[in-house]
Structure 1
């Protein structure tokens, strides 16, 4: 049964806690099958975790970006692949504020509705009567095996033969071929495979702009710049993974004997120092990320240069969160010793997952150069931020 739309953040956090035994029981299949087991995916859907941004007018909770962050972090602390899928699926429910109510309502009538999105490539779109004919292949379709809809970017040829601005095109699952390409080290349970369509008809009503969005809802999640909203949905995941790793290490430190001593690891001053530094690193990175989102929200109505700077600031905050999360997990691994190498433990998985997550372009270190250009009074040099 779906969590009711009016439920609080605490209700969703409680639902994640209740999922812990199921995730633990099924986790052995994550790496082997390179996707989430149906039982886990269905449980996430039934908990409402793929509808976090769905508008209230469509029966969703319409959480703020800050509440979204709290929920996705908790899911990521439970498991990196689970958090990644919740961030992607819950994040894409914001399309309920971009499409017509009729279309969005029909898509999300399915209790297992899950929209896969990929922006790592641009397909081609040819305008025809009532829509477009679209072809393309897109990488990193997280959750592809369970998707009910897929979104791929496509460029429409202008009258001069040039590519127009990218368009978000939505395909029914029956139109899509999924390629089994997800052979990776971390986040293996996300099933982030390539997907492809060939000459698929996409009605105008199943498309919207990527950059110049015209939302159909007034809420903040739908008024955020599209690329900023996309970056936010996954950049909070590494912080959650690191938080889960820290919790696992603290539990370990309380029971593992300290080498050459009658005490436990937590009695060691170097361990105490590391945990203190890890806590500060995570809290400061999270605070900067929240500050960047608050500034972005404030800049939406102002527009102009302030909005450009806010968008860039958010991307640098995403990169900073990724770096700090990875650093914290590596610090923990260095102190955990052999406990960090066994596949049955949280720490080994956290190491692989966090280093896979931070490779995403949304939190790439190149964002710092982008921020530097703007601070130096230069043009950003790209529209993809």
Structure 2
């Protein structure tokens, strides 16, 4: 059964894999307007005119315009992993990736915030029900997360006193909560890390997001000074004890975190292919009367782009299927599955960059203008690929394990 509403419990792995590798939804789903995946993907497509109308504001404002952010929130795109018990769709990893791809095909910054915001709604599976319900009673709830630095958490009665500065707070200007990594013993490199959730009023946003790509994400640094965080608003980073039964919340958190944005480069590449196809139908290269699409070299470039995209997606799907199968176990199988998810992410980013670059080269000089979708795709996909979840260092981790060494990564 493809795209089953109950994506994990009792759903055979082979069925899940089939759903992920199918471009079109199952006919039963198409006839069911209540199906969450169908509704969410249709909602993303419905946002295309709004995104196009305001895209010019993304770079200048270095954040999404309020009207675009509100539309994404009202479409439910920041609640994708909210548990069923809290009124969320609790999408499977594969459904989630497809939604992120769809959003990223519209615009890289939009997809990045859908991946981050929708991914962070999984906190409902780790915090107490009353806390999560209160936070997500706001239809515009958005949790910005930052794992690129570690702050300090001083134990006090009833919770912690948290201080620090954290980078890459994607969506910071619109966030209602901020998740930060902290350590009770920062002088100890192996001290357990704690996720603490700060209220918007507890942080100061630093306006330093001056970058080449993904400009509309507003991924600014932010800091907090001696903020009290109740114990109910915190949980461990790696040794999580889920409060909800879904398998998603029992999977390795670092792998799920990486998966939440893995669809972004794939979606940007998909959008680049579509944009190039439209361009190729009406434009020719200078000195030639023929349209780009009539050139055999261009046809071959597009064919290779499609092959790279589908191969990269298939690898990610295969890696996640294995991780899901291994998540209930310990030992070598789970370790290898986690490493494979990492290299699948790195491979997807490299494939997406290659696709965008080759299409831009085929388009010629038009691809350097900001009015060309390929110009934005090239810089957005390169910015996305700089994220640690897609780092080439992931190949090192996988290689070390294959060669019988330890992972060589502190947070692995």
The Cα of 1:161 is off from its aligned counterpart by: 7.0
Aligned counterpart for 2:112 among listed residues 58, 62, 84 = 84
CA contact (8 A) 1:56 1:62 kept: yes
Q: 1:227 to 1:108 in 2, by over 3 A?
A: same
Among residues 62, 68, 90, which one is paired with 1:40 in the alignment? 68
Partner of 1:332: 359
Cα drift, residue 220 of structure 1 = 2.3
**1:236 matches 2:263:** yes
Cα distance change, pair 6–383 in 1 and its aligned pair in 2 (3 A): farther
Structure 1 portions without partners, runs of 5+: none
Q: How far has the Cα of 1:227 moved from its partner?
A: 0.8
* Deviations, residues 200-229 of structure 1 (Å, cap 9, x unaligned): 101111011111111111112211211111
For 2:78, the equivalent position in structure 1 comes to: 50
| Aligned match of 1:357 | 384
- The aligned residue for residue 371 of structure 1 is 398
Which residue in 2 is equivalent to 1:127? 155
- Correspondence for 1:21: 49
| Residues in 2 aligned to 1:376 and 1:72: alpha-carbon distance in whole angstroms | 34
Partner Cα separation in structure 2 for residue 223 and residue 341 of structure 1: 45
In the alignment, the residues of structure 1 paired with residue 196 and residue 331 of structure 2 have an alpha-carbon distance, to the nearest angstrom, of 28
Asked if 1:307 is matched to 2:334, the reply is yes
Structure 2 CA distance, aligned partners of 1:264 and 1:228? Answer: 44
In the alignment, structure 1 residue 265 sits paired with structure 2 residue 255: no
Report what 2:144 is aligned to.
Answer: 116
Conserved? CA contact 1:123–1:135, under 8 Å: yes
> Which runs of no fewer than 5 residues in structure 2 stay unpaired?
1-32
- SS in structure 2 of the partner of residue 137 of structure 1: strand
Deviation at 1:259, TM superposition (A): 4.8
| Structure 1 contact 73–237 (Cα < 8 Å) conserved | yes
- Match of 2:76, SS state, is coil
Structure 2 equivalent of residue 275 of structure 1: 302
Instruction: Report SS of the residue matched to 1:212.
Output: coil
The alpha carbon displacement at 1:22 in A equals 0.8
- Indicate yes or no: 2:205 matched with 1:178: yes
Distance, in Å, in 1 between the alignment partners of 2:244 and 2:36 is 21
Separation in structure 2 between the aligned mates of residue 219 and residue 303 of structure 1, nearest angstrom: 18
Contact residue 285 and residue 363 of structure 2 kept, 8 A: no
Structure 1 Cα separation of the partners of residues 410 and 269 of structure 2: 31
> What residue number does 1:136 align with?
164
How many residues align structurally?
380
Structure 1 position 258, deviation (Å): 5.1
- Is 1:196 the counterpart of 2:223? The answer is yes
Q: Give the equivalent residue in structure 2 for 1:221.
A: 248
- Contact 1:54/1:95 (<8 A) preserved: yes
1:288 alignment partner in structure 2: 315
Shift of 1:192: 0.1
Deviates further, 355-364 or 337-346:
337-346
1:93 to 121, 128, 143: 121
Instruction: Report the TM-score when normalising by structure 1.
Output: 0.96
Distance 2:286 2:101 in 1: 33
Instruction: Report how far residue 131 of structure 1 moved.
Output: 0.3
How far apart in 2 are the matches of 1:97 and 1:6? 23
CA contact (8 A) 1:156 1:163 kept: no
The Cα of 1:132 is off from its aligned counterpart by: 0.5
Deviation, 1:263, is 3.0
Provide the rounded CA distance (Å) in 1 between the counterparts of 2:37 and 2:356: 26
SS of 1:157's partner is coil
Question: Residue 98 of structure 2 aligns to a residue in which SS?
Answer: helix
